[in-house]
Amino acid sequence: MERYYQEEIECASRETIKAIQDEKLVKQVRHVWENVPYYRKKMEEKGVTPDDIHSSDDLYKLPFLSKADLREAYPYGLVGVPLKDCVRIQSTSGTTGKRVVAFYTQHDIDLWEDCCARAITAAGGTNEDVCQVSYGYGLFTGGPGLNGGSHKVGCLTIPTSSGNTDRQIMFIRDLNATILCCTPSYAAYLGERMKEMGLGPDDIPLKAGIFGAEAWSEEMRQDIQKTLGIKAYDIYGLTELSGPGVSFECSAQSGMHINEDHFIAEIIDPDTGEVLPEGSEGELVFTSVDKEAFPLLRYRTRDICSLTREKCSCGRTHVRMMKPKGRTDDMLIIRGVNVFPSQIETVLINHGYAANYQIIVGRVNNTDTLDVQVEMTPEMFTDNMGEIAERQKQLVDGLKSMLGIKAKVSLVAPKTIARSEGKAVRVIDNRKI
């Protein structure tokens, strides 16, 4: 039976959701106009005032915010309340340039933790569960967000934070953890370490995992589910909007429900900024309609995905976003072709390799080079040189048909690609442009 944390809102009719959004948006635009001069100026430049915004249908009139705006306004330029009303900051992991600092009032923390509690409940969590949070705690939102959500659900929470893998496995086994929260690459690494220790899925009590903070493929999900003997749920979020829990997967594992009572989602053409019809693939844009301290309107996430309002078997009515292919910042342009690391991951796993890989981009004689390094595994190794070379060639062909460009595949020794406890470093771009 599907469980909900806040059934009334999670399963509300589309009309109710729209009415909530309309009301909150009108209020939020006025709040921002009055308290965030940085955004007010942007509105004035576009010739828009709060009087032009009557409902979410008028959203398109508002100017966009980008990561560049956040950097420009750093640190206080987008804060919407006096600092005495703020109780916390969190910060991005800084994987793509300068850090972003986000502010929270107690109300903001509460609604963020509600979102995480919805995600944990959707993964089957109740107050009978033991939830191990192996996301990093600190400035990174992963640990604090899921920790708060886990408390709200009433799970016994194990705040291991990231790292010390053998201790993670010990706690899972000794304290009977049933839910694991961490990045997918760390979940895969835990599975790998368990195998080395001679432990299989039956040796651990885990039943569900909530994995996010980086792009991962469906194939990687299948792998993790098998190795850990769990159901693996995707969770999505951005520090700029609160953290994990902006959207989350339900039992259908078919797209992530966006918490629409707090966030309005749009898909736009990343080049023109034009809003695209439902189902189109484009850049995801979020408007946070009830955050006080850091009220971002029309924030461009740089994530490429699509939305669907098709009825979900779980009973939730909130719009679903399909798994982002990756951030536009993760996207590589190689010989003029868009390449996402997640596409490469899909091909690797389909060809029997593990998700331990690194992508090295270079430039020789003004031509981009793409080198995919993948670790040899006992399963893929044979004494037959010709067979290894043949599999390598099949992989090159598979990458060619997925990406449309030729990549070099290098087989490297096990454990030579560094394991990550947080976000995996998949790409090394040596091009000097």
Partner 1 sequence: MSIKQISVFLENRPGKLKNMTGVLAQAGIDMRALSLAETKDFGIARIIVDDVFEAVNVLKEADFVASLTSVLAVAVPDEPGGLDKLLAYFNEAEVNIEYMYAFLGGNDAKHAYMIFRVADTKAAEAKLSGKGLRILTQEDIAQI
Binding region for partner 1 (CB under 8 A): 376-378, 381-383, 385, 388-389, 410-416
Q: Measured from the CB of residue 343, what is the shortest distance to partner 1 in angstroms? A: 23
Q: Pick between residue 236 and residue 353 the one whose CB is nearest to partner 1.
A: 353
Q: Pick between residue 385 and residue 433 the one whose CB is nearest to partner 1.
A: 385
Give the distance from CA 205 to its chain's centroid: 26
**Biggest CA-to-CA distance, the chain:** 74
Q: Pick between residue 8 and residue 379 the one whose CB is nearest to partner 1.
A: 379
| CA–CA separation, 281 and 141 (whole Å) | 27
Q: Measured from the CB of residue 166, what is the shortest distance to partner 1 in angstroms? A: 16
Q: Measured from the CB of residue 171, what is the shortest distance to partner 1 in angstroms? A: 25
Q: Pick between residue 48 and residue 396 the one whose CB is nearest to partner 1.
A: 396
Q: Measured from the CB of residue 317, what is the shortest distance to partner 1 in angstroms? A: 50
Walk across the sheet containing 320-321 and list its strands: 156-158, 130-133, 179-182, 208-212, 231-238, 243-249, 256-258, 320-321, 307-308
Q: Measured from the CB of residue 209, what is the shortest distance to partner 1 in angstroms? A: 26
Q: Pick between residue 364 and residue 413 the one whose CB is nearest to partner 1.
A: 413
Q: Measured from the CB of residue 35, what is the shortest distance to partner 1 in angstroms? A: 56
Give residues with Cβ within 8 angstroms of 366, minimum separation 6.
none
Which residue, 123, 177, 120, 176, is CA-closest to 153?
A: 120
Side chain identity, residue 222 = Q
Q: Pick between residue 26 and residue 388 the one whose CB is nearest to partner 1.
A: 388
